[in-house]
Amino acid sequence: MKFQSSLEYYQNMQAWRKYHADAARTQYAELSHEEKAWLMKLNASLRHLEDQYLPILDAKFNEFQARIANPSDWLIDFNLGYTITFYLHESDPEFDSDDDNILMQMQNDHVLRKWRDPDWGFGATHINHAESAVNFLGEQHCHTYHQLYDHCYLDWRDLLRIGYLDVDINIDEQSGVLNM
C-alpha cells in the first residue's frame, strides 16, 4: 500500500489505519540482521534530520514571535509546521514512474523547545524513544523513527520500502482585519 494521489492527507491516513487493522503484522524479531541494520541506518538518518531541522524551526518560530511583538508589523499569528514525505524505493513493486510514489507523510506543528517537554518530540535526540527496551535491546530510536513504526500504521517491512524522503517547512502567516 502507498498514499493515493487522489486522496487528501487525512483520507490516506484513514486508509493506512484500516489496512493496518486488517493486515498481518511483522514482529521485529522476525526481521533479518540485514533488515534491522538497514532500519538502524534509517533511524540514524532521521536523527540527523531532527538535529539539522530543529534549530531551523526554532529560529523561524522566534522570528515570527518577534514580528508579532512588533506593533508596526502586520503579523498577528502564525502556524509553523513541517511535513516529512517518505517515498518508495525505485525497486519497490508498487513504484510507478508516472506516480508520486509516496509511502507515508508525517505532518506536525512545531512548538518552540522552551514551551514543550524538552525530553519528548522532534529534536529530542538525547532521549531513547524506543517503544520497548526489551524489544529493542541496545537500540536508540529518535522521535521520527518511533513515529513511523508506532503511530503511522506502517509495518516493519513497509519501512524497508523507503527509498528517500523530503522535508517541507510549512508557514501560515495570519494578519488582522484592516480597519479603514
Coil, helix or strand for 128?
coil
Predicted local confidence at residue 89, as pLDDT: 96
Residue 11 included in any domain: no
Residue 10 included in any domain: no
Residue 38 included in any domain: yes
The residue-averaged pLDDT of 147-174 equals: 93
Quick: pLDDT tens for 73-85: 989 889 999 999 9
Predicted local confidence at residue 129, as pLDDT: 80
Output the pTM of the full model. Answer: 0.87
Tell which wins on pLDDT, 119 or 91: 91
Predicted local confidence at residue 180, as pLDDT: 63
Residue 154 included in any domain: yes
- Quote the DSSP letter at residue 72: T
User: Residues of the chain with pLDDT > 70: what percent?
Assistant: 92
Q: How far apart are the C-alpha atoms of 27 and 157, rounded to whole Å?
A: 10
The count of structural domains within the chain is 1
Residue 27 included in any domain: no
> Residue 110 is part of which domain span?
32-169
Q: How far apart are the C-alpha atoms of 162 and 102, rounded to whole Å?
A: 9
Q: Which residues of 94-103 are buried (b: 16+ CB within 10 A; e: fewer)?
A: ebeeeeebbb
Determine which of 78-92, 98-112, 160-174 has the lowest per-residue pLDDT on average.
98-112
Residue 59 included in any domain: yes
Phi and psi torsions of 51, nearest 5°: -65, -35
Residue 23 included in any domain: no
User: Residues of the chain with pLDDT > 90: what percent?
Assistant: 62
Residue 18 included in any domain: no
